[in-house]
A and B are shown apart, each in its own frame.
Chain A
């Protein structure tokens, strides 16, 4: 299905979904290729730097349509930017460790650029334009500290890691769809209404390593039980187009009966009035030869992510069955490790270049 491409850019940088289109089952289809560029500012960027960055971003938008078939982008600014270069000290909190078993590097880059497209050459051009050697390059004001690449889309994980037997229908490394109708916070609901981030949102960006070989050694029903809920089979889950069968009001009963915490079932308890509070933009990666996920989560407040993650941990699952541990038989906790975390504020498009800087 061809995704729409538009010359109109919405107020919010994060407003991508109208361009996603749907697959044959009605599920949203995000861009296939992604790159994250983490950067630190050099010196004290002023109006000239802001105009230069805006010119670079605008040139890319002029060059490519707005959508999967063109280019989608966001620019986010981290705690160090807000605390050191603006009057908005404390606007974005530092990232922190979010489970007992993880030791992530808690990163504090000044900025993050997220580019997404169905076409790798578009991403390569965006990166070269802003961080290469041309007229629109930002090297005078920004130094790149990390570049992260990845993909999401039907068949791409199976192509990337053919030995694992990942179903060709899967867009992600764990072998199932994770985005269904109703399983995401809406872009409208995560948009901030007032203040320096009015019209924008917040982002939590983590690097997750996945034990894909151990995961794919499980049979499909075992995977479905851990990833969704033990009351559902893989076949049932594969057929989903609407919201995952989380049955979260029956969480305690299910854990007690089956001795298994379903990841989606546990995480769904973080919803408010059955509406998710985070909008996931995660994509698979093989960066550094380590299969995993770059988990980009957008939410109105960073605490929405923190709450979701805390509840997803299923730490209370152990209360309902003695065989359930913090990781053992507890969702996908035994199959992933968060190695990096970072937090950002994403201003509106009009304020994306060095926002709220002191004069």
Chain B
């Protein structure tokens, strides 16, 4: 991946020690997050994510599926829960890297290179474009209403990616976007644990936040569900364009 740094920050012992310190003795927020369900756990993970993001420790995930797997493994040696919260990032970053170059795809990779952390909308319950269709080059700004789900607290991430079939595009939804809110889905399920409903009300989305694909990315040979087997080195990952 020629457009990524040659020597990205690595999870060295000093960073690992800092992460252990955060998870052992987090600076629990005194306000909203910790007051919610599962608050102390979320707060500790959020601070750990802040550290991972600010130190750009997850940048390597975009290099290759092997690098992404190695990142998750190294995080799991520090804290398996922390590693689990980054498994979607470790899936999505190499997947995006493997897509053909385009302005939206390149912008997302740039964000990952700056330390942003991504997750996946595990369910899309509703999605409507206020103007009847997704934004495009002629009409670059669109507004969407919708309800999607995440399998972790959305505030841990910078961006939620979702598949929007009517636009045939991956939508990159920044979690800090105005008129976007989230709440826990009650009750937690035994198999999937706590899920979060993310509600969009007239949320502005730019055409450059849509990565156009021909098919649902989950049907791509390059797609790997978190927890699934990582592809063997050199396996059927499409070659990225320059």
Contact = CB atoms under 8 A, between A and B. Distances in A.
Interface stretch (B50-58, B103-111, B131-139, B227-235): B50-58
Contacts of A318: 51, 54-55
Contact of B15 (A290, A322, A335, A338): A322
Interface in B14-30: 14-15, 18, 21-22, 27-30
A330 B58 CA distance: 20
A322 B12 CA distance: 9
Contacts of A106: 178
A132 B18 CA distance: 54
B30 A325 contact: no
Interface stretch (A20-28, A51-59, A93-101, A237-245): A93-101
Interface string A89-131: 0000010110011111110000000000000000000000000
A101 to B, nearest CB: 6
A147 B55 CA distance: 40
A210 interface: yes
Overall SS of chain B's interface:
helix
Interface string B172-184: 0000101000000
Given A97-B176, A100-B50, A328-B47, A211 B30 contact: yes
B27 A211 contact: yes
B189 interface: no
A322 B15 CA distance: 6
B55 A325 contact: yes
A224 to B, nearest CB: 18
Nearest to B16: A322
Interface residues of A, number: 31
Contacts of B29: 101, 209, 211, 337
B33 A103 contact: yes
A327 interface: yes
Interface string B44-82: 001100110111000000000000000000000000000
Q: Which of A327, A328, A337, A339 has the most CB of B within 10 A?
A: A328
Given A325-B22, A325-B55, A326-B50, A339 B31 contact: yes
Interface of B: 12, 14-15, 18, 21-22, 27-33, 46-47, 50-51, 53-55, 155, 158, 176, 178
Given A96-B176, A210-B30, A338-B31, 17 more contacts: A94-B178, A103-B33, A209-B29, A211-B28, A211-B29, A211-B30, A292-B30, A318-B55, A325-B51, A326-B47, A326-B54, A327-B47, A328-B22, A333-B27, A336-B30, A337-B31, A337-B32
